Amino acid sequence: MANTFLTVDDITRSFALPNGGQYVALKDIDLEIAEGEFISLIGHSGCGKSTLLNLMAGLDQANTGGILIDGRQVTDPGPDRMVVFQNYSLLPWQTVRQNIALAVNNVMRDASEAERRERIDNSIRMVGLAHATNKLPGELSGGMKQRVAIARALAIRPKLLLLDEPFGALDALTRGNLQQQLMEICQQSGVTTVMVTHSVDEALLLSDRVVCLTNGPAAGIGQILKVNLPRPRQRLEVMEHPDYYRLRSELINFLQQQRRLKQHRQTLSANLAAFEAAEPTPTAPTTAMAQRKLRIGYLPGLDVAPLAVGMERGFFRERDIQVIPVVFHRWQQMEEQLRAGDLDVAITSASAPLALALGLNGQPAWPAITPMTVTRSGNAICLARRLRDLGIQSLEDLATLKGREWPLRLAIGQKGSMQELLLRHWLASGGIDPDRDVEFQTLSPLAIQAALLAGEIDGFIAGRYRVAKSVEAGLAFVLATDLDIWSGHPEKVLTCHEGWAASHESLLLEFCGGLIRAGQICEDGGQHEGLVGLLSRPQWLGNDSALALQRQFDLGNGQASGRRLPLNRYHSDRAHVANSAEGAWILTQFSRWGWSPFPSNRLELLGQVYRNDLCNAALEQVGLPALRPERQPLPMACGLPFDQDDPIGYLAQLPFSHTTTQAVVPLPSGDAQRTHADH
């Protein structure tokens, strides 16, 4: 942004409830507003729009975070930030002129009498009320009162104009006229304006950007929409602009999704209440015991280190959770058991919750959620040794193989996994069409080495442990790592059924808390030896893993080992966040490769699947600060950052994208009463 005028930095505002609790109205709001910009805040009632406006005005103070205007922190209200209140707030005992004069005389104390009078007259004329100067507000219509309020606000030349649903109480005709007038006035004076509104059309007509707030409690910014309609705008012309209806439907979509999300949460908790009422817990201690059991599915790999550490250190036992780890060798198998309810939770690929919720690969949609990210990064793309001997040292070199070693046969652990998405993205960024030039083979991670040896594959993408073993065995070399694709991408996440999570929330939170503490230990360099010893036990990776884990090996490409394989991130740098922006990227890739239409109700879907609220509750339980996803675009190594507010624009710029269709995807409903609690 060229000229940041106002910065909302990490604002959280909560109110004390009479019963001693806290109502969090706004949570973690970040926003930058440029000088002269017109911003609208839109969202359902009770989402904290007006609270945010009051914070900007200085009428209210945030619990954490702050607001900077021109580099100075807002601590109290002042005339440089004039507010036009919802119900006009004119003094009924003063005439139009006196009302405006009160503001002008107070603010322009040093100006001469004549100067002030001129200012007052001008602002009355500006809103066309010269004939009503000596009337009391009670004698004016609603529209006229609002014009007086606007005149009063602008008469003192504020730097920031704050409008709280200024036209809410007016009839349609007056509303339209006033919107047009306000737009002209703002444009002439160049004042930076923030307006709270309910009306989608009003927001689009007036704004440069529309900031959409999610539902309270703990409302945040759901989406920021740029309105690039040419100025000066005319009501009717704007509506004929080709972009208008796209923007409009985007906004309406957002609001509808927020409403459905709210309803969805309500049904879920209602179901849960009915479920608990139907099952009297105190009579049967065995049920209580059974509820503390947690069956977790995983595939061997470095990603399970937190689980291993958590169990070893007794993080779960001390909370009376009996964790039953169930090892799988194929991702497919594990997902089937998760769907069937034989597993409570699973450590899955980061793309799995969305794939399950969308019902990819012809499966029925399943209401998956993810409460936390288990690991980030840790992947590498390896090619068979044979190709190194052909002189392949980079992605560009690989592209030159076209026509010779073609199509490339590359192994992935699971169709639609995060690894496949990364591999495809990386190949496409080097001019290789994954759908035409590559033959993907889905192999169990355990089978990769054998396939390499047999010459059945030319390469693969896998986690550090598999890569290390293949490099160690002299079968493969590393061509690219996460750093070359997306550094810090989510790799493995915890996945479970939405209904199960709702009915076992405390169990899930305590389990997540244990995993988070274990993640801290996994990343502690001093614990490395112990970690390797633990992981090489037979129930995790096995005896021969110690060798691969212990050595600081090179990438197997003959270069000096200046660049080492990046390690998994288990904890640091906000690793645990269940970040819906990352989910949005995953959705773009699903749609890019034609696996699903791009969901036009993506925010609803992401809101349902990415439960960072659970992550934060778990963090709080173990005494760690809450984490929140940032709104900055995700940096990608290919140079095209991903902006979660404009996924369609992003898709359009990606090479080899299928023509994307957008569609409303039906969301699986999380029924709390599924047959699950009985194992």
Partner 1 sequence: MTSLSATPRSKRRPAAGWLHSPLASQIKAPVLCIGLTMALWQFLVQFNSEGFPGPIQVISQTWDPYIIHPFFDDGGTSKGLGLQLLISLQRVAVGYILAAVVGIGAGLAIGLNRFLRRGFDPLIQVLRTVPPLAWLPISLLLFQQADTAAIFVIFITAIWPIIINTAVGINEIPQDYTNVARVLRLRKRSYLRDILMPATAPYVFTGLRIAIGLAWLAIVAAEMLKADGGIGFFIWDAYNAGGDSSTSQIILAIGVIGLVGLGLDRLVGAVGNVVAKGGK
Q: Are 361 and 416 in contact (CB under 8 A)?
A: yes
Min CB(116)–partner 1 separation in Å: 14
Min CB(32)–partner 1 separation in Å: 23
In this structure, which amino acid lies at residue 82? M
Helix/strand/coil (H, E, C) string of 103-163?
Answer: HHHHHCCCCCHHHHHHHHHHHHHHCCCHHHCCCCHHHCCHHHHHHHHHHHHHHCCCCEEEE
Q: Which is nearer to partner 1, 156 or 221 (CB)?
A: 156
Q: Which is nearer to partner 1, 138 or 625 (CB)?
A: 138
Q: Which of 166, 85, 177, 98 is nearest to 135 (CA)?
A: 98
Min CB(13)–partner 1 separation in Å: 17
- Three-class SS state of 388: helix
Min CB(159)–partner 1 separation in Å: 13
Q: Which is nearer to partner 1, 89 or 177 (CB)?
A: 89
Alpha-carbon separation of residue 365 from 55, 268, 358, 370, 608 (angstroms)? 42, 17, 5, 15, 13
Q: Which is nearer to partner 1, 136 or 624 (CB)?
A: 136
Q: Within 10 A of 112 (CB to CB), how many other CB atoms are there?
A: 9
Q: Are 434 and 456 in contact (CB under 8 A)?
A: no
State the Cα–Cα distance between residues 570 and 130, nearest whole angstrom.
Answer: 68
Q: Which is nearer to partner 1, 93 or 245 (CB)?
A: 93
Handedness of CA 347, 350, 354, 356 (dihedral sign): negative
Q: In the numeric block, which tokens belong to residue 149?
A: 């309020």
Q: Which residues contact 283 (CB under 8 A, 6 or more apart)?
A: none
* Continuous segment of H or E residues that includes residue 12: strand 4-16
Min CB(139)–partner 1 separation in Å: 10
In this structure, which amino acid lies at residue 351? S
Min CB(118)–partner 1 separation in Å: 19
Min CB(197)–partner 1 separation in Å: 19
Q: Are 197 and 203 in contact (CB under 8 A)?
A: yes
Alpha-carbon separation of residue 3 from 33, 79, 387, 522 (angstroms)? 8, 22, 51, 43
Min CB(57)–partner 1 separation in Å: 7
Min CB(155)–partner 1 separation in Å: 11
Q: Which is nearer to partner 1, 77 or 217 (CB)?
A: 77
Q: Which is nearer to partner 1, 78 or 431 (CB)?
A: 78
Q: Which is nearer to partner 1, 85 or 465 (CB)?
A: 85
Min CB(152)–partner 1 separation in Å: 9
Q: Which of 178, 175, 174 is nearest to 151 (CA)?
A: 178
Residues that bind partner 1 (CB under 8 A): 57, 59, 76-79, 81-83, 85, 87, 89, 91-94, 102-103, 106-107, 136, 138, 156
Q: Which is nearer to partner 1, 160 or 311 (CB)?
A: 160
Can you give the C-alpha Rg of the chain in angstroms? 29
Q: Which is nearer to partner 1, 100 or 225 (CB)?
A: 100
Q: Are 56 and 67 in contact (CB under 8 A)?
A: yes
